[in-house]
Amino acid sequence: MILVDILQLSTSKILLQSAVKLAEQLGKSFAVSTVAENEIGLKSMLNESVIVDYQILIKDNSKSLVEICEAEDASFLFIQLPDGQINSIRRLLNDCRELRIPYLFYKDSFNPLDLTKVILPIGFLEEELEKAQFAAAFGRFCGSEVKMLLANDYGSKAATNAEKMKVLFEKFDFSYTLDKATKDSFKVEVESIQVAEKEQAGIIIVSASRDYGLDDILFGPKEYHVLKKSPIPVLLVNPRGDLYALCD
């Protein structure tokens, strides 16, 4: 199931259309989570868009976003980020830290989701490998070109991660390239924003922080800064080695 969390109905049309398109490409069902007062307007918006197969989940304070995703067996989550609510990013990131599925923040200012090109920054941490299966899924089912951006590190760990990802990608018929970044593993995600703009890519895939250090607590984790600056959607994957592994 592709699940969409709506925070402001009046500005959610592009988000809903993008999520429905992805659900169709991946062969998934589609559901929307929202507050009760949005139900009638949401039904009208979905029907006007000729979306006939959907489910509406009414939110209350008894369940967290993580609990809703697990109860509905969601496999992908879109989270609306309305204009003027950028300050809520850090709170939403905290709410999502226990998610077992990839999640994508969608600003109201974004264009419809375009998966023609996917930017995949690659650092030295082991959990970077967890992003590969989602990049491969976009390549296989959405016809995406995956552009791998290898961190410019002194060590070989990032390069080893890239080679392992290529082993997976070679099993499937889609286009991918590997380019070297100018920044190291600590800044490659931020550089990926510039690369995405230059390449006119539609999405960036980033690993969320494994743990928060003092700087992350005070100034926000790396994914916060990427989300805040990015003009295109950012897909986040939580480091969950017990749940994700490269597979056929």
Q: Would you write out the chain's pLDDT as a tens digit for each of its 248 residues?
A: 999 999 899 999 999 999 999 999 999 999 999 999 999 999 888 887 766 688 899 988 778 889 999 999 999 999 999 876 777 888 888 889 889 999 999 999 999 999 999 999 999 999 999 999 999 999 999 999 999 999 999 999 999 999 999 999 999 999 999 999 999 999 999 999 999 999 999 999 999 876 655 554 555 677 888 998 899 999 999 986 554 444 44
Residue 58 sits at φ, ψ, to 5 deg, of -85, 125
Q: Do domains 2-107 and 117-237 have the same CATH topology?
A: yes
**Which helix (H) or strand (E) segment is 122 a member of?**
strand 117-122
**β pairing state of 117-122 and 76-81:** unpaired
Q: How many residues does the chain have?
A: 248
- 2-107 folds as Rossmann fold (3.40.50)
Domain extent listing, the chain: 2-107, 117-237
Residue 204 near residue 232 (C-beta atoms within 8 A): yes
SS3 94: helix
Whether CATH 3.40.50.620 fits 117-237: yes
Contacts of 235 (CB under 8 A, 6+ apart): 102, 103, 104, 134, 203, 204, 205, 206
Question: What residues pair up with 77 in beta bridges, in sequence order?
Answer: 3, 103
Burial tier of 223 (Cβ tally within 10 Å: 0-12, 13-18, 19+): buried
Rounded to two decimals, the pTM is: 0.90
Nearest to 19 by CA among 79, 68, 73, 72: 79
Residue 195 near residue 147 (C-beta atoms within 8 A): yes
Nearest to 181 by CA among 190, 171, 169: 190
